[in-house]
Amino acid sequence: MIHEEISHYRLVSQKLYKTNHNSPEEIVKHFGAMQAQDYAMAKWAVGSRCDASEKEIEEAINSGKIIRTHILRPTWHFVSADDIYWMLDLSGSQVKKLFASLAKQHGYDDKKLDQVNSAIEKLLSGNNHLTREEIMQELNIQKKTGDLSPVIVMMNAELDGLVCNGRMKGKQITYALLEERVPKPKTQLTKEEALAKLALRYFESHGPATLADFSWWSGFSATICKKAINAIGLQLNHITIDNQQYWYKKDLTDQDNFRESVHFLPAFDEILISYKTRNASFQSEHQTKVFTNNGIFKPIILENGKVIGIWKRTIKKDHVKIETEFFNETAPNKKQDLFREIKSFEKYLETKILIE
């Protein structure tokens, strides 16, 4: 393996070739956690790796097979129902530390947050699914400009394992009690077991990747991540390229998996967001077009694992408009490959797509 091939291997480990039939919940479980703050784009991140429609993915989320909550780095993620508890046990307290000072600035110490949690539990008990606005109204927390109380209160409740996403209410996201959606397991993993499990899940679904990549994705320090890698080292392959060690799944060396491919992927997709260093996937001069300095990632077009452009969609009354922007002149046959790939998006959305 050389540096130029890393992006090819990642297409395989990230299931972008769709070599196997997977359900939406199996895709999410494969990744461990998939960044999901942009809800519409996050559903396509799952859909681009399986044959499910957007409605089928939303049903998996509504039914609790896929959980959307704050976990790992302090942002939304999709997590499998099978993984939610051990992952929260592992990372919840760490993420809470990251916004503890912000909470205190808004008047929320541990005692007050516990009191608010008790009130939220009473509100949602009995499979009562409410939007954040409805919860805030019941808690008498007024919406004020610059006041982050609603965000702090609900994120804390998520990280404490009290709440997670509920069923969608039209286009509005709701909250529900986690234990009413997913039964709590009878056994718990030790911290060491959970870290090892998280590391193995990451490198098998994202490899080839480095220690720094895993540290960035998981939110744990390099020292802690190194211990986790040492615990699972025999279960992975690794290679040194340009004095950097990359870890990946044992059976990821099959060159037959490589093929000519064009993919169009959502904003914040794991193919980019999950790595600290992303130069395996695009040329540095295109970085500002791919993501901004404040961490806003654009929907991307990949050719053989390399970012060659960006795209956006606009929802119309009876169709979806797709606009593309290629960084360089693109051969007509590559555009045709892309347009064929967009047909899968048409099937996913179950509506007509027009390309401009």
Is residue 253 very low, low, confident or very high in pLDDT (cuts 50, 70, 90)?
low
Residues in the chain: 356
Is residue 327 very low, low, confident or very high in pLDDT (cuts 50, 70, 90)?
confident
Would you say 212 and 276 are in contact if contact means Cβ atoms under 8 Å apart? yes
Higher-pLDDT residue of 342, 28: 28
Is residue 254 very low, low, confident or very high in pLDDT (cuts 50, 70, 90)?
low
Would you say 214 and 197 are in contact if contact means Cβ atoms under 8 Å apart? no
What is the value of pTM for the model shown?
Answer: 0.94
What are the helix (H) ranges across 171-247? Answer: 178-181, 191-206, 211-218, 222-232
Q: What is the pLDDT of residues 62-108, one digit of tens each?
A: 999 999 999 998 899 999 999 999 999 999 999 999 889 999 999 99
Residue 201 CB: number of other CB atoms within 10 A? 19
Is residue 331 very low, low, confident or very high in pLDDT (cuts 50, 70, 90)?
low
Higher-pLDDT residue of 296, 99: 99
Q: What is the pLDDT of residues 182-238, one digit of tens each?
A: 999 999 999 999 999 999 999 999 999 999 999 999 999 999 999 999 999 999 999
Residue 272 makes CB contacts below 8 A (sequence gap 6+) with: 278, 281, 290, 291, 297, 300, 307
